[in-house]
Each structure stands twice: as C-alpha cells, then as structure tokens.
C-alpha cells in the first residue's frame, strides 16, 4: 500500500514537472512570437528605405519591388495592439522612409501609405488601414491605389456609427492633378465604403492643373476642421469660387440660398439709360468717352476698330492709370463696390462676364451666364439649365419651345467666394 502510494507520488511529480515544462515552452513561444513581431516592425523602416533606393534599371526590379511591398504590407497588417501601433507610427514619423502616416482624431483610423514604385509617372500607392473595432485593432488594404492620402476627417463619431473621410491627391496626366474624398465606416469589424456624397457616392473627386497645385486659395475641395462642411469648386472660365455642402447626419447636401423674390427674365432687363446692370452704380457723367462715377472713379474706353481691340483705362482718385486690353466686342456694363463688370461677348442666353477687382487691379473672375443683377447686397445671375429634357411634371418645367434658366447668388468673400444655387428659376424663349 505504501509502495503504491509512493508510486502515485512519483507519477504525480513527473506529470507536474512535464506540465511546468509545457507551460514554460508556451511562454517561450509567446516571447519568441513577440520578438519576431518587434523584429518585423523594426524591419519596416529597412524595407521601405530599400524600396526607395531600388534602381529601376535593375533587371529584377519588378520582382524585388513586389517582394518588398509585400513584406511591408504584411508587417503593418499584422499589428494587433496599440503599443506596436504607436511604436511604428512614432518610428516612421522620426525617419524619412517614404511611408506616410495619417491619423484620424483619437487615432481610431490610421493609414500607412507609400509609393510602390510600380505605377510609372502616374504613381501607384499602397494604402493600409489599421482601425479600432470592438476594442480590437484590425488591418485592411484600401482599394485606392491612385490616391495618396493627406488627411483624415471624422465626419461622425458615436457608439452606433463612425464615419471617416479621407482626403487624398493623385495625378491623372502629366498636366493634371486631382483631389479625391473617400468616405469609410466600420460595419461588423469590416472597413467599408460609406455613401455620404452627392448621388449616393462613396468617393468624390475634382481635378486641377499643375499651375493650380500650390496656388492660394488652394485648388480642389476645402474641408473644414470637423469634416462637416465641404467647399466644392464651382466651374468658372477663370478665378475660383466654391459651393458649400453640409453634412446633415446622413449625407452631404448642397446649401441653397433662400432667395425670397420670384424673378423672371424681364426683371433682369436694364432699367437705366446707360444699359448698366440693374443695381449697378450709375455714372454721374459721360465726357469724351469717359464714364465718371460719383466716387471719382473714371473709366475711359477707346475702340481701335482696325486693330480689333478695345482699350479700357481705369483711373482712381490718385489718378493711377491701369490699362486693360480687350477684343473689340467687350464693353463695360456695371460697377458695384470694388468691382467692374464687362460683357465679353457670346449669345444672349450664354455670354462671358468678366469681373475686375479695382483694388487688386486685375480680373478675378470670368464666367458664362445669361442674365445678371444686384439685389440685397448680392450678385444674382441666371444660367441655362443643363437638363435638356424638360420634365413636364416638375414645378420648374417650361412650355414647349422655352428653356429653363436657374438662378444663383454670388458672394464676393475674401477667402472663399461663394456661388450658391437657389430654388428659383424662370422660363424663356431661345431663338
């Protein structure tokens, strides 16, 4: 009996020793796994640097670049804890490796982006997203390889749903760039598109030329800090103006100016002897081809018919002369505050209006329109509707043979001039 008891004790001791040995092995495995992760994260800098220095003339360039891109992608997507995420973002921010790190507010979405060097002159970018969902950190490769992210806006953040908006830049040709907004949200631990932009789109883009790339105010969209207002560029022949879109909790809606008056084509017809725009400052005198205003501003027009040009001189109170040269179908049609307005020619329903800033001594806007007037300290103008097919059931439908003209307002703000649509329109006959 004692011999059996002693045997049991030996067997139990052996099992305990083996058990302790197994637990130690598991700990070692965890330490080894963690060590491999740290080495992998440390290698990201090395791989990224190696990729940036890789010569495109190397015969194996394609294979080597693909291998390095794959290593970087796998290492970043394997991150599952905040400490390693913080370590990687900090290390990449301290050293220029070619990998950009963009974070949302509260760091719930972090994007790691780099040029794969496999897209030629247009660029091909890898964008890896790490995001928080149900107290976990998850990874995903975004399908936006032509866009290089610049910033992330948190449009909405609550317990039920968070919506992020990624602003990025890309190149569509040798002469043209584009700016794109992409909306993302998290559904069942998956990072998916969110259709919050006009026409139920999850992405929205606008293009601009190389010359406009670094201009002020900037080209492309302008998004406010909280991500709830987007300024969308309004198409002009020259100059920059924007239309506002505001997030209403579901999607972005274009802001409509509440124009109180019902306006028709006849309301725009000039009602002064000079044929100036209604609401314009009216000249106090006309002398020797000079238009003189009450504030002392003098506009002199000289028509050189043989040379097919018109020369306009702008003289202010200090007698400073600014010569402006036009083609011979251009004429002064109004003055409002610090602006002069010129008719640049065209057809009655679609002609070019040039707007000149007297203080800056330059043209600031040129746009095609149909009618124009000043009202309630606003510039109101009409444009021929782009909707060629008239909907007879619409409140804005016109009789057969007539076309619809939509009304807009123009506010000359210093930073971002605003053009806003209204709910008003009129119908007019076009010959």
- Given a contact cutoff of 8 angstroms between Cβ atoms, the answer to whether 206 and 178 are in contact is yes
* pLDDT tens-digit map of 21-55: 444 454 444 434 444 555 567 789 899 999 999 99
Pairing of the two strands 285-287 and 362-369: unpaired
Residue 422, pLDDT > 70, answer yes
CB 110 within 8 A of CB 158: no
Of the chain, the percentage scoring pLDDT greater than 70 comes to 82
Instruction: Using the predicted structure, report yes or no on whether residue 124 has a pLDDT greater than 60.
Output: yes
Answer yes or no: are the C-beta atoms of 198 and 252 closer than 8 Å: yes
**For 138-162, how does the pLDDT look when each residue is reduced to its tens digit (9 = 90+)?**
999 999 999 999 999 999 988 778 9
What is the tens place of the pLDDT at every residue in 201-232?
999 999 988 777 776 666 789 999 899 999 99
pLDDT tens, position by position, 285-344: 877 778 888 887 888 777 666 666 667 777 765 566 666 766 667 888 999 988 999 998
| pLDDT tens figures, 359-407 | 888 889 999 999 999 987 889 999 999 875 444 445 568 998 899 999 9
Per-residue pLDDT, 376: 78
Stretch (H or E) spanning 358: none
Q: What is the pLDDT of residue 122?
A: 81
How buried is residue 393: exposed, middle or buried, by Cβ count under 10 Å (0-12/13-18/19+)? exposed
- Give the full edge-to-edge strand order of the sheet including 100-103: 100-103, 109-115, 125-133, 136-141
Reported confidence tier of residue 15, pLDDT bands at 50, 70, 90: very low
What was the pLDDT predicted at 391? 46
pLDDT at residue 146, as a whole number: 93
Q: What's residue 4's pLDDT?
A: 44
**Cis link prior to 353 (omega < 30° from 0)?**
no
According to the model, what pLDDT value does residue 29 have? 47
240: left (phi over 0), alpha (psi -120 to 50) or beta: beta
Q: Give dist(CA 373, CA 375) in Å, integer.
A: 7
The pLDDT assigned to 97 comes to 84
In contact, 234 and 241? CB cutoff 8 Å: yes
Whether residue 9 has pLDDT greater than 50: no
Structure tokens at 357: 């800033």
In terms of pLDDT, which residue wins out, 172 or 214? 172
pLDDT score, position 320: 60
pLDDT at 201: 97
- Mean pLDDT value across residues 229-245: 94
pLDDT of residue 390: 47
Residue bearing the bigger pLDDT, 175 or 4: 175
**Regarding predicted confidence, which is higher, 62 or 327?**
62
| pLDDT tens column, 253-264 | 999 999 988 999
Residue 237 neighbours by CB under 8 Å, 6+ apart: 352, 366, 367, 368
With a cut of 80, say whether residue 133 has pLDDT above it.
Answer: yes
Query: What pLDDT is recorded for position 12?
Result: 46
**How many C-beta atoms lie closer than 10 Å to residue 179's C-beta?**
22
At residue 210, the pLDDT reads 76
Which stretches of 63-175 are assigned E, i.e. beta strand? Answer: 100-103, 109-115, 125-133, 136-141, 148-157, 162-171
Domain boundaries, given as residue ranges, for the chain: 92-254, 265-429
Residue 242 near residue 220, CB atoms below 8 Å: no
Average confidence score pLDDT of the chain? 84
Secondary structure of the chain: what % helix, strand, coil (to 5)? 25, 40, 35
């Amino acid at each position: 009996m004692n011999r059996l008891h002693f045997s049991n004790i030996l067997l139990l001791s052996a099992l305990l020793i083996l058990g302790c040995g197994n637990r130690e092995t598991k700990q070692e495995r965890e330490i080894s796994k963690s060590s491999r992760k740290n080495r992998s994260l440390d290698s990201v800098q090395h791989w990224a640097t190696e990729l940036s220095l890789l010569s495109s003339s190397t015969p194996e360039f394609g294979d080597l670049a693909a291998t390095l891109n794959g290593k970087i992608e796998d290492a970043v997507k394997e991150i599952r804890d905040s400490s390693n995420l913080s370590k990687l973002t900090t290390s990449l921010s301290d050293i220029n490796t070619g990998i950009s790190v963009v974070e949302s507010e509260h760091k719930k979405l972090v994007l790691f982006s780099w040029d794969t060097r496999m897209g030629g002159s247009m660029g091909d970018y890898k964008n890896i997203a790490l995001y928080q969902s149900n107290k976990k950190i998850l990874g995903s490769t975004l399908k936006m390889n032509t866009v290089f992210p610049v910033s992330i806006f948190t449009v909405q953040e609550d317990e039920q749903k968070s919506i992020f908006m990624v602003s990025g830049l890309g190149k569509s040709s040798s002469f043209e760039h584009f700016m794109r907004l992409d909306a993302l949200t998290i559904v069942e631990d998956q990072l998916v598109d969110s259709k919050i932009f006009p026409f139920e789109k999850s992405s929205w883009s606008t293009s601009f030329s190389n010359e406009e790339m670094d201009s002020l105010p900037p080209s492309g969209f302008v998004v406010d800090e909280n991500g709830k207002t987007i300024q969308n560029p309004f198409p002009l022949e020259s100059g920059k103006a924007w239309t506002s879109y505001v997030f209403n909790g579901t999607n972005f809606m274009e802001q409509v100016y509440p124009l109180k008056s019902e306006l028709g084509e006849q309301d725009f017809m000039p009602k002064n002897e000079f044929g100036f725009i209604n609401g314009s400052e009216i000249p106090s005198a006309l002398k020797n081809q000079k238009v003189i205003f009450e504030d002392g501003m003098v506009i002199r027009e000289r028509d050189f018919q043989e040379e097919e040009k018109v020369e306009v001189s702008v003289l202010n109170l200090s007698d400073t002369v600014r010569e402006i040269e036009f083609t011979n179908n251009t004429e002064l049609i109004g003055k409002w505050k610090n602006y002069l307005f010129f008719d640049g020619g065209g057809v009655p329903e679609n002609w070019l209006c040039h707007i000149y800033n007297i203080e800056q001594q330059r043209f600031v806007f040129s746009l095609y329109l149909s009618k124009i007037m000043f009202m309630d300290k606003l510039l109101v103008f009409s444009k021929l509707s782009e909707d060629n097919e008239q909907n007879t059931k619409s409140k804005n439908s016109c009789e057969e043979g007539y076309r619809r003209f939509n009304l807009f307002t123009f506010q000359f703000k210093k930073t971002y001039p605003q053009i806003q649509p209204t709910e008003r329109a009129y119908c007019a006959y076009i010959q």
